Amino acid sequence: MRQDAHRLEKIQQIMPSLRYIKKLGSSLKKGAASCFAMNKKSRASARPEFVCFGVTDNCTLRCRMCHKWKEDIFIKQKAEEPTLGDWKNCVNSLSRIAERPLQINFGGGEPLLKKDILEIVRFSKSRKLETNIATNGYLIDEAMAERIADSGLNSVIISLDSMDEGTHDYLRGVSGVYSGVMKAIENLEKYGKGIYKGICCAIYDKNMDDILKLAEWVEKDSRLNSIYFMAAMQPNNTPLDSLWRKKEEFGFLWPKDSKKACSLIDELIKMKNNNFKITNSVCQLKAFKSYYAYPENFVKNTKCNMDTALHVSSCGDIFLCYRWGLLGNIKNDDVADVWYSKKAEKVRQDIANCKNNCHFLLNCFFKGDYPFKLA
């Protein structure tokens, strides 16, 4: 009896402490939940909106506006490429932070040269991600078209610079490419009727007179879903030069007559407003017009939106934008962890202050809800 009384006395002594601990625990739990909710909210507001995997730098062509087929001037030592498992881990990690729908754009080089490209596409589809391949079309014979259809790929965008065979082949640096594009469209139509098929064309001095004919051809061709235009940029794999437009070697790219280029874009805007199959927004086309008229001026009134883009290079390097800091590599790092890292936040701050009218901003990931200066 004496022992029971002693135990009761001890319990009564510690009860206030137990009540305090319980109350403190409840507060900590609520605080942790609140912090988690805030973290979850901030993460949700910074999800990837544009994703591009440059799975290879190899190419079948010798394009005059892209020098990726030459020895890389920036990377002298060839890095080991990611394995299929690395790419799958990358996709799996991305799928955990992606807000659907989200599309992975597979580019290059020529992405169809990548041995496992369609397996990566198939795996991406299994993770509920949409997929697109940007291609020159040269490798899409009947067998390849059938494999593409079997992979579940959502869309194929084929480069075509002109309805004039000579002009297209000149810009692509190899004879027979125009013919290959036409066969690729036929083969995709035959084996992949459900695949979205589009044309991509950049506006250069060399092909300016052919642009409207190309838009009209796409409009009339029931096999094609769209045409997307891009603005001329400094060729890939060349030393960065703010005055590249004035160099004689690139004279066939930058329009010699800026007023003519702007008038052409006005015509494209009219076509767009008449429901032609042009996927550029009117706002983006007006930004092109401003860029061609005043290339030195930053076309946006607000910050660059590449802070919500994700790029992975052929060697697995992870970037938000290639012009800014290297964040990691998919061979060693988890993409989701990299996306929310302090290093990524620092790069986002740098991007906010960037004033370059770059290819990624104007051509790849254009956000039309931003105000743009008009020429």
Give CA–CA dist 323/310, Å, rounded. 12
Task: Please give the model's pTM, rounded to 2 decimal places.
Answer: 0.84
CA distance 202 to 320: 24
Contact 244, 296 (CB under 8 A): no
What stretches of 80-219 adopt beta strand conformation (E)?
Answer: 103-107, 130-135, 155-159, 196-203
Residue 10's contacts (CB-CB under 8 Å, 6 or more residues apart) are none
Query: Which pair of structure tokens corresponds to residue 208?
Result: 């300016």
Inter-CA distances, 219 with 63, 172, 185, 195, Å: 26, 24, 15, 17
The C-alpha angle with vertex 217 and arms to 293 and 290, in degrees rounded to 5, equals: 10
Question: Given this model, what pLDDT does residue 76 score?
Answer: 57
Reading the block at residue 128, the tokens are 């509920």
pLDDT value for 15: 46
Instruction: Please report, in tens digits, the pLDDT of each residue of the chain (375 residues total).
Output: 444 444 445 444 444 444 443 444 444 344 333 333 334 434 444 899 999 999 999 999 999 988 777 777 666 567 789 999 999 999 999 999 999 999 999 998 999 999 999 999 999 999 999 999 999 999 999 999 999 999 999 999 999 999 999 999 999 999 999 999 999 999 999 999 899 999 999 999 999 999 999 999 999 999 999 999 999 998 877 888 888 888 888 889 999 999 999 999 999 999 999 999 999 999 899 999 999 999 988 876 777 778 899 999 999 999 998 888 899 999 999 999 999 999 999 999 998 888 778 777 788 776 654 344 433
